[in-house]
């Protein structure tokens, strides 16, 4: 009987929840999609074909049991659906909102491949989890057994948070250290509210606090305001490094030191802090505020998309995005480009800054036209300058969104024995998630380089299992002499 509710894709077309019109959403930082109604969620979930080999699940980094929770949603059994969702994801309401589903679960759904249009998996995941919060189904973690051993986690982003909750389930005492004053990493200060409203992050943070995770905020490990790495190693039985990547790549073009040229993360953080009600002098004095300005954003990834759409909401006069490749070769999500275009952003494809001009403060960007040349070592066509193609764009604010590299972690932590790759990411043994230092584990962006929230969650979960196995082995070794003596 359950099967009757499923496989409705032939008669039920794909439908997303209501999307607010661009004119309305441009005026605030609220999310752009409404939540599914119960009937719509059940209807959309019922489109699933219940594949024997679900490619959606294969391509989901946390290997969610997607067909199962879609079936339960179609049957109206939402509490059970939530149990299954929560079994493999610590932040499902966030993944439902901000995973690039077109490249992961939904892009690999057989219905998408066969031209029927994917099941709207992310939106159903969000609906299930938001409903679970509203209904009070999400209970704090209460481990069967509290353990004396403690684990220190450096970084309260998705990787650190997923690891923290999994370790609490095993009964460990978990302490999370972060240099920010709020929990969430890029979820709270990087990603804007129109993709992920801040109360959603704060609601989940409260759940972690209620589950016994202890947060130490304003604690810059290895810096002036925090404990040293050596102190944390002495204080805890194991450590997990989940510090993300924060060294912004810079521009080499002449004039890039002019006032009015700002890094993307400083710009987005100021905007998010304003949304959260903080005092932000650099926003109030106009340095990090696009209101009334001609804005040029340089870059083609998710960060650039967030900057252009933030600038629109702040009331910029015009917003242009320069990217050196074309639309088909940009790293950002196509959905985000479409949203930005609807909101009035102009994309200047195949273009790169040649120089910034102005009297102390940027006024104009001189831009090269680019073309795609022969493929480079990575197989991607390398952009090259079209000779004599320069043109000028008016700009009072230029935002650099060129990507992020790792900070020099071994030097910052005073631990030269911590092995890193030639790109500065921490090297780990993927089978245990342990670094070159015994009892020190790592995951998320600091291991992968700039990646995705859902991969951070996956790493945090895998690291929690690695840490549990490591600590269990230590307990077994300590107990072995006693066991021998008793025998």
Please report how close the Cβ of residue 56 comes to ligand SF4 at its closest, in angstroms: 3
Among positions 64, 71, 175, 309, the unique one binding ligand SF4 when judged by CB under 6 A: 64
Binding to ligand FAD by residue 54, rule CB under 6 A?
no
Question: What Å distances lie between residue 162 and 3, 86, 158, 237, 394, CA to CA?
Answer: 34, 11, 6, 19, 44
Restricted to residues 109-138, the positions that interact with ligand SF4 (CB under 6 A) are: 109-111, 119, 121-122, 125
Restricted to residues 331-390, the positions that interact with ligand FAD (CB under 6 A) are: none
Binding to ligand FAD by residue 262, rule CB under 6 A?
no
Q: Which residues, at least 6 apart from 105, have a Cβ–Cβ distance to it below 8 Å?
A: 56, 57, 59, 60, 64, 66, 99, 121, 122
Classify residue 54 by its DSSP letter: -
Q: With respect to ligand SF4, which residue has the nearer C-beta, 125 or 336?
A: 125
Among positions 92, 193, 353, 456, the unique one binding ligand FAD when judged by CB under 6 A: 456
Q: Which does 212 bind (CB under 5 to 8 A by kind): ligand SF4, ligand FAD, none?
A: none
β-sheet bridge partners, residue 79:
none
The string over 86-117, giving b where at least 16 C-beta atoms fall within 10 Å of a residue's C-beta and e elsewhere, is: bebbbbbbbbbbbbbbbebbbebbbbbeeebe
Element (H, E) at 398: strand 397-400
Which pair of structure tokens corresponds to residue 9? 């894709």
Among positions 55, 133, 137, 246, the unique one binding ligand SF4 when judged by CB under 6 A: 55
Among positions 186, 238, 337, 418, the unique one binding ligand FAD when judged by CB under 6 A: 186
Q: Tell me the backbone φ, ψ of residue 463, rounded to 5 degrees.
A: -65, -40
Rounded-to-integer distance, Cα 424 and Cα 414, Å: 15
Residues 77-96, one symbol each (x = binds ligand SF4 by CB under 6 A, - = not), give: ------------x-----xx
Q: Which does 306 bind (CB under 5 to 8 A by kind): ligand FAD, ligand SF4, none?
A: ligand FAD
Q: Which does 129 bind (CB under 5 to 8 A by kind): ligand SF4, ligand FAD, none?
A: none
Sign of CA dihedral 249, 255, 261, 262: positive
Q: With respect to ligand FAD, which residue has the nearer C-beta, 61 or 171?
A: 61
Which pair of structure tokens corresponds to residue 475? 């307990």
Element (H, E) at 321: strand 318-322
Burial class (CB in 10 A: 0-12, 13-18, 19+), 146: exposed
Q: Which does 121 bind (CB under 5 to 8 A by kind): ligand SF4, ligand FAD, none?
A: ligand SF4
Which strand ranges, in their side-by-side order, compose the sheet holding 261-263?
Answer: 261-263, 397-400, 294-298, 318-322, 346-348
Cα 262 off chain centre by: 22
Among positions 61, 160, 299, 332, the unique one binding ligand FAD when judged by CB under 6 A: 160
**468 and 453 in contact (C-beta within 8 Å)?**
no
Binding to ligand FAD by residue 306, rule CB under 6 A?
yes
Q: With respect to ligand FAD, which residue has the nearer C-beta, 41 or 91?
A: 91
Rounded-to-integer distance, Cα 5 and Cα 340, Å: 37
Q: N- to C-terminal Cα distance for the chain?
A: 58
Among positions 29, 32, 43, 54, the unique one binding ligand SF4 when judged by CB under 6 A: 54
Binding to ligand FAD by residue 102, rule CB under 6 A?
no
Binding to ligand FAD by residue 222, rule CB under 6 A?
yes
Residues 161-180, one symbol each (x = binds ligand FAD by CB under 6 A, - = not), give: ----------------xxxx
Among positions 67, 158, 300, 353, the unique one binding ligand FAD when judged by CB under 6 A: 158
Binding to ligand SF4 by residue 158, rule CB under 6 A?
no
Please report how close the Cβ of residue 108 comes to ligand SF4 at its closest, in angstroms: 7
Among positions 6, 109, 159, 262, the unique one binding ligand FAD when judged by CB under 6 A: 159
β-sheet bridge partners, residue 247:
405
Q: With respect to ligand FAD, which residue has the nearer C-beta, 114 or 206?
A: 206
Q: Which does 110 bind (CB under 5 to 8 A by kind): ligand SF4, ligand FAD, none?
A: ligand SF4
Contacts with ligand SF4 by CB under 6 A: the residue count is 27
Please report how close the Cβ of residue 436 comes to ligand FAD at its closest, in angstroms: 18
Q: With respect to ligand SF4, which residue has the nearer C-beta, 47 or 236?
A: 47
Strands 214-217 and 238-241: unpaired
Burial class (CB in 10 A: 0-12, 13-18, 19+), 85: buried
Question: What Å distances lie between residue 458 and 90, 123, 286, 305, 331, CA to CA?
Answer: 9, 20, 39, 25, 21
Binding to ligand SF4 by residue 99, rule CB under 6 A?
yes
Rounded-to-integer distance, Cα 62 and Cα 22, Å: 33
Footprint of ligand SF4 (CB under 6 A): 48-51, 54-56, 60, 62, 64, 66-67, 89, 95-96, 99, 101, 104-105, 109-111, 119, 121-122, 125, 454
Footprint of ligand FAD (CB under 6 A): 98-99, 154-160, 177-180, 185-186, 190-191, 195, 219-223, 226, 242-244, 268, 302-303, 306, 444-445, 451-454, 456
């Amino acid at each position: 009987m359950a099967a009757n509710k499923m496989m409705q894709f032939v008669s039920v077309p794909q439908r997303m929840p209501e999307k607010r019109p661009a004119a309305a959403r441009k005026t605030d930082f609220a999310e752009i999609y409404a939540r599914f109604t119960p009937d719509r969620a059940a209807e959309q979930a019922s489109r699933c074909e219940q594949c024997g080999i679900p490619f959606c699940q294969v391509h989901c980094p946390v290997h969610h049991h997607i067909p199962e929770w879609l079936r339960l949603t179609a049957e109206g059994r939402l509490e059970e659906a939530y149990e299954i969702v929560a079994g493999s994801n610590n932040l499902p309401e966030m993944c439902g909102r901000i995973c690039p589903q077109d490249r992961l679960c939904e892009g690999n759904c057989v219905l998408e491949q066969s031209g029927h249009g994917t099941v709207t998996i992310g939106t159903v995941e969000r609906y299930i989890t938001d409903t679970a919060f509203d209904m009070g189904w999400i209970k704090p973690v209460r481990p069967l057994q509290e353990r004396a051993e403690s684990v220190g986690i450096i970084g309260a982003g998705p990787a650190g948070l997923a690891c923290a909750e999994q370790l609490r389930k095993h009964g460990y005492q978990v302490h999370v250290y972060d240099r920010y004053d709020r929990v969430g990493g890029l979820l709270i200060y990087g990603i804007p509210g129109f993709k992920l409203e801040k109360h959603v992050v704060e609601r989940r943070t409260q759940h972690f606090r209620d589950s016994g995770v202890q947060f130490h905020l304003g604690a810059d490990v290895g810096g002036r305001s925090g404990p040293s790495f050596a102190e944390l190693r002495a204080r805890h039985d194991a450590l997990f490094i989940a510090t993300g990547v924060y060294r912004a790549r810079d521009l080499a073009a002449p004039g890039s030191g002019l006032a009015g040229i700002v890094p993307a993360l400083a710009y987005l953080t100021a905007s998010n802090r304003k949304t959260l009600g903080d005092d932000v002098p650099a926003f109030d004095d106009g340095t990090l505020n696009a209101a009334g300005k001609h804005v040029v954003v340089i870059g083609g990834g998710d960060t650039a998309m967030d900057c252009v759409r933030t600038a629109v909401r702040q009331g910029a006069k015009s917003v242009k995005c320069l990217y050196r490749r074309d639309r088909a070769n940009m790293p950002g999500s196509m959905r985000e480009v479409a949203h930005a275009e609807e909101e009035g952003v102009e994309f200047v494809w195949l273009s790169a800054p040649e120089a910034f001009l102005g009297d102390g403060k940027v006024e104009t960007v001189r831009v090269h036209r680019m073309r795609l040349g022969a493929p480079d070592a990575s197989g991607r066509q390398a952009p090259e300058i079209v000779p004599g193609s320069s043109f000028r764009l008016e700009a009072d604010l230029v935002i650099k969104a060129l990507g992020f590299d790792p900070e020099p972690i071994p030097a910052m932590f005073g631990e030269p024995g911590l092995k890193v790759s030639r790109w500065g990411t921490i090297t780990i043994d993927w089978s245990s998630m342990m670094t070159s230092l015994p009892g020190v584990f790592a995951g998320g962006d600091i291991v992968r380089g700039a990646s995705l929230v859902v991969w951070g969650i996956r790493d945090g979960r895998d690291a929690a299992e690695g840490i549990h196995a490591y600590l269990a082995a230590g307990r077994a070794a300590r107990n072995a002499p006693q066991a021998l003596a008793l025998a």
